Amino acid sequence: MLEARLSQSMVLKKVVDAIKDLVQDCNFDCNDSGIALQAMDNSHVALVSMMLKAESFEPYRCDRNIALGVNLVSLTKVLRALQNDDLVTLKAEDAPDSLNITFESSTADRISEYDLKLMDIDQDHLGIPDTEYAATVTMPSSEFKRICTDLQAMSESVTIEATKDGVKFSCAGDIGNGAVTLRNYQNVEKEHTNVDIELTEPVSLTFSLKYLVNFCKAQPLSDRVKICLSNEVPLLVEYLVTGTSYLRFYLAPKIGDEE
C-alpha cells in the first residue's frame, strides 16, 4: 500500500513534464526510501533517473515495493488538472491496477480525484556507478537552456570543451559556426547566477543538441543545473528538485567522425 502526499505538488507536474518528452512508458518504483524512476529513450542513448525521496512527502507510507507502470502522456493529462497550490496525494494498492491521484485545494473547498490505469512494463534496470567526473560545471539552468536552444539553430550537435579558462559550447553547421564560452563567475548577492567550474583535467566531448534541449525541459524544476563530463562516459545533467531529491539525465557522447 502506497500513500504519498506532496505539498509542493508542482514538482510532480514539472518532473513528469520533463520526462514525458524523453520516454513514453515507465515504471515508478516505490519503496520505503521514496519514489524512483529509471528509463531510457527509444534509441537507448539517453537515460533519465529520478529520485523523489520519502522526506519530500508528508506523510509518506510504502509498505512494500510497488512498481507503477505509467504512460507518461496519460499521467500528463491527469496532472493538467492540477492547480498551483494544490496538495497532491498518490495512492496505490500492493498489486495495483490503477493509481489513485487526489488533488486538494489548499483552501480545502475542492477535492479532485483521478484513477489512472496502470500497465505492465518490462524494463531493465541499469546499475549506475558513482563516477568522479573530470569536469563539473554548475550554472543557472536558464543559461544552459538558452545556450542549447541558440546553438540548436546552427547545428545538430555541440562540442562541450572544459578547460581551466572556462567551458566552451561550440558548434559548426551549414550556415556557419558559433560558440558560447562561460567563465567562473561569483556573485555573492545573487548566488543562483554563479558559474562554478571544477576541473581535474581538460575534457572535450560532442553531444546531440536535440537531446540536450530535451533535457532542458526540466529547467522549471530548479534554477541551478549541474553538468558533469568525463571522457568515454555519458554526460550527466542533474537538476536538484527539493532537498536531496533529484532528476538526472545521462547522454552518450558522439564518438568518431562527426556530422
Partner 1 sequence: MARTRASKGNDTASKDKAAATSASQSKYTISAPSNNPPKVFILPMKATDGARIVSLLHPRYAKPTRYLVCPETGFYEFTRITAPKSTPRSWLITTDDRKPQKADTGSEPVEADASFGTYVTNGAELFVATPIDPLFLILPTLIDPSSKSEKRRYISGDDHFDRIQQESPHLWEILRWGEGRVRDLLEARLGAVCDTVDAGDERMFRFSEDKLTAEVLSKARRMSTRTLPRSMEEKFVVKPLEAPVLGVKRETTTTITTASTLASAEIIQDDSSNSDSASGTPTLKIEASESGSSISLTDSSTSFASDASTTATSVIASEESIAIAEALLPAMVASPEVISLQRLRTAFNFICSSYVPSSLVTILQSKLPAQPEADFGPLDTYLSELNRLKQEAVIARSAGDYTRKRVMDDEELAERAEKKRKKEEDDKRKKIGESRGVRDLKKVNTAGMKKMSDFFKKKA
Residues that bind partner 1 (CB under 8 A): 20-25, 40-47, 71-74, 76, 124-129, 156, 208, 210-211, 214, 217, 233-234, 250, 252-258
- CB-based contacts of 75, cutoff 8 Å, min separation 6: 16, 20, 116
Please, which residue, 111 or 126, has the CB nearer to partner 1?
A: 126
Q: Are strands 98-104 and 87-92 parallel, antiparallel or unpaired?
A: antiparallel
Q: How far is the CB of 176 from partner 1 (least distance, A)?
A: 20
Q: How far is the CB of 75 from partner 1 (least distance, A)?
A: 10
Q: How far is the CB of 88 from partner 1 (least distance, A)?
A: 21
Nine-digit cell string for 9: 505538488
Please, which residue, 26 or 182, has the CB nearer to partner 1?
A: 26
The residue count for the chain = 259
Nine-digit cell string for 102: 487526489
Are 114 and 89 in contact, with CB atoms under 8 Å apart?
Answer: no
User: Measured between alpha carbons, how far is 144 from 139 in angstroms, rounded to an integer?
Assistant: 7
Neighbouring C-beta atoms of residue 95, cutoff 10 Å = 8
Q: How far is the CB of 1 from partner 1 (least distance, A)?
A: 25
Please, which residue, 59 or 256, has the CB nearer to partner 1?
A: 256
Please, which residue, 34 or 234, has the CB nearer to partner 1?
A: 234
DSSP label at 54? G
Neighbouring C-beta atoms of residue 71, cutoff 10 Å = 17
Q: How far is the CB of 37 from partner 1 (least distance, A)?
A: 14
Please, which residue, 77 or 192, has the CB nearer to partner 1?
A: 77
